[in-house]
Amino acid sequence: MENPNRRELPKAYDPTAIEDRWAEYWVRERLFHVETPEAGVIEKLRAAGHDVFTILLPPPNVTGRLHMGHMLNQTEMDILTRWRRMRGDLALWLPGTDHAGIATQMMVERQLASEGKKRQQMGRESFVERVWEWKRHYGGAILEQMKRLGASVDWSREYFTMDDNLSVAVREAFVRLYEQGLIYRGAYIVNWCPRCQTAISDLEVAHEEQQGKLWEIRYPVVGAPGEFLTVATTRPETMLGDVAVAVNPMDERYLPLHGKILKLPLVGREIPVITDDWVKSDFGTGAVKVTPAHDANDFAMGQRHGLPQINVMDETAHMNAEAGTYARLDRYAARKRVLEDLEAQGLLGAVRDHVNAIGKCDRCKTVVEPRLSTQWFIAVNKQPKDGGASMAELAIAAVKADGAGEKAIRFTPENYEKIYLEWMTNIYDWCISRQLWWGHRIPAWHCVACKQITVAREDPAKCAHCGSAEITQETDVLDTWFSSGLLPVSVFGWPRHTRNFDVFYPTQLLVTGFDILFFWVARMIMLGCWFSQDEPAADGSKRALKDTVPFREVYIHALVRDAERQKMSKTKGNVIDPIEIVERYGTDAVRFTLASMASPGTDIAFSEARTEGYRAFANKIWNAARFIFMNVEKAREAGITLERGTLGQMPAAGESDPIEARWIVAELNHAAQEVDEALATYRFDDAANAVYQFFWGDFCDWYLEIVKLRLDFSEAADRAATEQALATLLQTFEEALRLLSPFMPFLTEELWHAIYEDDVPAKSIALTRYPQPAEIDEAVRRDFARVQELIVAVRALRKDIGVEEKVAAPIRVRATWDGLPFTANLEVIQRLARVSTVETVTGALTGSGIRSTPNFDVQVVYERKVDAAAERERLTKDLAKQEKALAAAERQLNNPAFLAKAPEAIVEGLRKQEADTRVLMEKTRKALEELG
């Protein structure tokens, strides 16, 4: 009778045939949805030794397309989340996207440009509507890609940083900080992108070294014809805005000029010579022009000396009316003209090559212009009115070890802690206003009448100061990182104090790249600690610092580079598209590649050769399944009923079971333990290698080969033994699939359903329990290792003396230790080493074709002539190695200091090694002699 549930797996593994189906199934069935637990549930969970595991997806930009960095990030988070979930934790992985102010606005502006339109023509409102439209249309692309990759997130909780509830949080945060006196507005030098026409933060500026020039310009001294003070500058065009020239007060060369007045060339303005410690005498001529409106250092100097600020450029970095005849010229055209004019007037001095670092806009690569403008800032170093710690101080305390050595937030790799602290210690106020249209509009209103500012939670109808109804809202929006910095609190409902907040805050872990360590990680810590300190803990008590943090651990992942270790970049054209690779090799293989290379702190050179290897691994698993299912079918045909009741439990094996059963159970436990240990410390590479080695090296190469011996379905066979073997095989395989499942979710899901012939005990393998390591039977591992050693020795010998593959040859074994595993497992040895008969001897072996180890001597008996030359070469090499090892051991053992100081176990081990080596050397010498 044909079983209708019978699975007929295709011969080769084909990921495309299964992955889309499961990806869709996981989403449709809402498998990873987490209901907010009612009161008492968490306590029960904790009492049972489990915990809440909350992890926030670093929200990709709505403009984003999935790249390898995302895939690595998501693979790591998914492995951890699936692992924790299967271990019984309440695992919530929360997805969402970021509105990405500048990036998105640029994207839509570009689209408009292709239609010949500009946003200024459309007006703010319709432009913003247009961006929303764009977002609705394309904004979900990256999350769709994520779904395809099987990320086990709770899609029902998906957020967008401009959602209403998150916007409420942004507004509350702003108002509260304003009320606390920690947000201020003022005219300062900021980094200005002339293309984006907005201020950007220090972090959004990328510095690049560039070969430039240092020009010397002579400024005539008023009242001293023919006298000049020569300044050196890298930006001659800004001289039009000069208000002074500064020298170091200690610089003796310029002592006579102190207090003198200079005539600014080209402009004619009279400006003073001032002294300031900031000026370095050894740079250039030791005299610098002071342009407070166009340089951050000059701005500070101007403040110190009460100098005016003259802005000579507009928001597009073209010269303005203040620049006189240079007005409307682009900054570089102006530079050229200024230099020409100076030259013509004989005021241009030496011109030297000079390497300087210029800042470029992170987004559009335009050279940033330091610009004097009115912006909003967060005073991160300011003490609040009540005298508590500043934001930065809180953010430092959250990471630094306290008196007891405890850290509220732990970084992996650890060195990022230092980098973070270094930055946080030297942090400047954060410019949070952006002159964009797409983003959270700053909730501040300017009064036309009294010029004062009203900041409010609800849109005000009139000025809070004078009551005038003539108020207009601030046009600036907030830095994108302000809203994403609030995510750990806002996604759980803050500023409302919700059940979600009680249960899920602080989150457990943040997995992200170092590139947004300051942008995002640092801001989340600042804002998270700041606002949650006012939220009572779940039990109503005051929240301790360790419970104010947005996450307890931060795992900083590596950068994915190309196979040549080059950074991937569009301009280099070496970007590897993960979707394309996934289509070629399957998601599981790509995930496994990334995991196996994800060693903390080391960049990943992504190589397709590795991926090919892991696709082969997937195929291996697939075929192991085919083999097993084939035997299940054979059993069915032979009328053997399968005990399926144990399926889903960790297999156990006792004295009565054959060696391979006891051994594979031990190895399974061992692997499960290794994976647990590795994942607990973010050693994805070790974890992946452990399951790989277990499945391929142990399960397939040894266990399956031996189990073939037991799967005898003939009439004459021992039915009970066959049945038992098949049960252990199935049980172990099922367990192995679960072990593999966080790494290769698709393949394991498919095969797991197949094992149960679709009569599954759960909707998904992802909802079953992870293998719980039990005690490992070390004795059977040791015994089996010797059997393996013997089999390998025989195989090698057969090769050496040229025994044909098909021929089974007799062997003679002399065990030099209790050789029970040999005699008890003759059939195993016979099958795996292709041995006809095994003769156990007690005396020394003579003749050729002998191998020796400390545990046994073995000889393959075969009439074929040994290749004496090759054999001699091998033995000579062996002997040399042994001599070296012996010498090394003896050197130590003859050293009284070593014997006195080294631990007992080391000395004992070395003694045994020395003795073993001596015996082996003896045998090797004898073998060489016999060769003649």
Partner RNA sequence: GGGCGGUUAGCUCAGCUGGUUAGAGCGCCUGCCUUACAAGCAGGAGGUCGCAGGUUCGAGCCCUGCACUGCCCA
Q: Which of residues 665-704 bind RNA (CB under 7 A)?
A: 685-686, 689, 696-697, 700-701, 704
Q: Is 898 in the site for RNA (CB under 7 A)?
A: yes
Closest distance of CB 713 from RNA, Å: 12
For RNA, the binding residue among 124, 352, 365, 912 (CB under 7 A) is 912
Residues 460, 465, 469, 472, CA torsion sign? negative
One-letter identity of residue 709: L
Distance CA 267, CA 815 (A): 101
Q: Which is nearer to RNA, 48 or 869 (CB)?
A: 869
Rule CB under 7 A: which of 43-62 touch RNA?
A: none
Give every CB contact of residue 141 below 8 A, 6+ residues apart in sequence.
64, 65
For RNA, the binding residue among 345, 909, 922, 930 (CB under 7 A) is 909
Q: Is 857 in the site for RNA (CB under 7 A)?
A: no
For RNA, the binding residue among 623, 673, 772, 840 (CB under 7 A) is 623
Q: Is 816 in the site for RNA (CB under 7 A)?
A: no
Strand runs (DSSP E) across 826-865, as ranges? 835-840, 850-852, 856-860
- Please choose, out of 51-59, 332-340, 557-565, 812-820, the segment that lies near RNA by the rule CB under 7 A: 557-565
Evaluate the omega torsion of the peptide bond into residue 495 and state whether it is cis, within 30 degrees of 0. yes
For RNA, the binding residue among 21, 213, 799, 925 (CB under 7 A) is 799
Q: Is 17 in the site for RNA (CB under 7 A)?
A: no
Q: Is 910 in the site for RNA (CB under 7 A)?
A: yes
For RNA, the binding residue among 17, 250, 448, 616 (CB under 7 A) is 616
Give every CB contact of residue 201 below 8 A, 6+ residues apart in sequence.
191, 430, 431, 432, 479, 481
- Please choose, out of 258-266, 324-332, 431-439, 908-916, the segment that lies near RNA by the rule CB under 7 A: 908-916
Distance CA 296, CA 129 (A): 37
Structure tokens at 678: 């590795």
One-letter identity of residue 763: K
Q: Confirm if 108 and 134 have CB atoms less than 8 A apart.
A: yes
For RNA, the binding residue among 87, 99, 130, 620 (CB under 7 A) is 620
For RNA, the binding residue among 175, 486, 527, 889 (CB under 7 A) is 889
Q: Which is nearer to RNA, 410 or 881 (CB)?
A: 881
Q: Confirm if 319 and 328 have CB atoms less than 8 A apart.
A: yes
Distance CA 873, CA 931 (A): 11
Q: Is 334 in the site for RNA (CB under 7 A)?
A: no
Q: Which is nearer to RNA, 187 or 357 (CB)?
A: 357
- Please choose, out of 19-27, 201-209, 528-536, 647-655, the segment that lies near RNA by the rule CB under 7 A: 201-209
- H or E element at residue 684: helix 684-692
Give every CB contact of residue 899 below 8 A, 6+ residues apart in sequence.
893, 907
Question: For RNA, how many residues bind (rule: CB under 7 A)?
Answer: 81
Closest distance of CB 714 from RNA, Å: 13
Pairing assessment for the beta strands 433-434 and 52-56 based on DSSP bridges: unpaired
Q: Which is nearer to RNA, 13 or 438 (CB)?
A: 13
Q: Is 836 in the site for RNA (CB under 7 A)?
A: no
Strand runs (DSSP E) across 178-318, as ranges? 183-193, 198-200, 205-220, 228-233, 244-247, 261-263, 270-275, 287-290
Q: Confirm if 419 and 185 have CB atoms less than 8 A apart.
A: no
Q: Is 867 in the site for RNA (CB under 7 A)?
A: no
Q: Is 479 in the site for RNA (CB under 7 A)?
A: no
Closest distance of CB 881 from RNA, Å: 5
- Please choose, out of 225-233, 246-254, 277-285, 889-897, the segment that lies near RNA by the rule CB under 7 A: 889-897
DSSP designation for 366? P
DSSP-derived 3-state class of residue 545:
helix
Q: Which is nearer to RNA, 603 or 723 (CB)?
A: 603
Considering just the CA atoms, what is the radius of gyration of the chain in Å?
Answer: 37
Main-chain phi, psi angles of 619, to 5 degrees = -65, -35
For RNA, the binding residue among 255, 350, 544, 563 (CB under 7 A) is 563
Q: Is 767 in the site for RNA (CB under 7 A)?
A: no
Q: Is 203 in the site for RNA (CB under 7 A)?
A: yes
Closest distance of CB 557 from RNA, Å: 12
Q: Which is nearer to RNA, 531 or 682 (CB)?
A: 682
Q: Is 122 in the site for RNA (CB under 7 A)?
A: no
Residue that has been written with the tokens 């192995």 in this structure: 736
Q: Is 577 in the site for RNA (CB under 7 A)?
A: no
Q: Confirm if 10 and 17 have CB atoms less than 8 A apart.
A: yes
For RNA, the binding residue among 207, 336, 465, 572 (CB under 7 A) is 207
For RNA, the binding residue among 157, 185, 615, 710 (CB under 7 A) is 615
Q: Is 763 in the site for RNA (CB under 7 A)?
A: no
Residues paired with 367 in a beta bridge: 360
For RNA, the binding residue among 1, 4, 8, 11 (CB under 7 A) is 11
Q: Which is nearer to RNA, 180 or 356 (CB)?
A: 356
Distance CA 802, CA 243 (A): 93
Rule CB under 7 A: which of 630-659 touch RNA?
A: 630
Q: Confirm if 85 and 766 have CB atoms less than 8 A apart.
A: yes
Q: Is 626 in the site for RNA (CB under 7 A)?
A: yes
Q: Which is nearer to RNA, 328 or 418 (CB)?
A: 418
Rule CB under 7 A: which of 536-555 touch RNA?
A: none
Q: Which of 717, 752, 499 is nearest to 647 (CA)?
A: 752
Closest distance of CB 774 from RNA, Å: 22
Q: Which is nearer to RNA, 415 or 837 (CB)?
A: 415
Q: Is 778 in the site for RNA (CB under 7 A)?
A: no
CB atoms within 10 A of CB 564: 8
Closest distance of CB 521 from RNA, Å: 13
Q: Which is nearer to RNA, 316 or 566 (CB)?
A: 566
Q: Is 602 in the site for RNA (CB under 7 A)?
A: yes
Residues paired with 198 in a beta bridge: 193
Q: Which is nearer to RNA, 230 or 689 (CB)?
A: 689
Closest distance of CB 696 from RNA, Å: 6
DSSP-derived 3-state class of residue 619:
helix
Distance CA 661, CA 727 (A): 10
Q: Confirm if 292 and 240 have CB atoms less than 8 A apart.
A: no
Q: Which is nearer to RNA, 610 or 738 (CB)?
A: 610
> CA separation (Å) from 872 to 541, 799, 848?
79, 15, 11
**51-72: buried (b, 16+ CB within 10 Å) or exposed (e) per residue?**
bbbbbbbbbbbbbbebbbbbbb
Q: Which is nearer to RNA, 265 or 359 (CB)?
A: 359
Q: Which is nearer to RNA, 51 or 676 (CB)?
A: 676
Rule CB under 7 A: which of 404-433 touch RNA?
A: 415, 418-419, 422-423
For RNA, the binding residue among 280, 906, 922, 931 (CB under 7 A) is 906
Q: Confirm if 348 and 217 have CB atoms less than 8 A apart.
A: yes
DSSP-derived 3-state class of residue 385:
coil
Q: Is 574 in the site for RNA (CB under 7 A)?
A: no
Q: Is 597 in the site for RNA (CB under 7 A)?
A: yes
CB atoms within 10 A of CB 381: 13
For RNA, the binding residue among 250, 357, 642, 824 (CB under 7 A) is 357
For RNA, the binding residue among 1, 12, 716, 720 (CB under 7 A) is 12
Measure CA of the first residue to CA of the last residue in the chain; give whole Å. 67
Residues 643, 648, 654, 659, CA torsion sign? positive
Main-chain phi, psi angles of 671, to 5 degrees = -65, -45
Q: Is 827 in the site for RNA (CB under 7 A)?
A: no
Closest distance of CB 822 from RNA, Å: 17
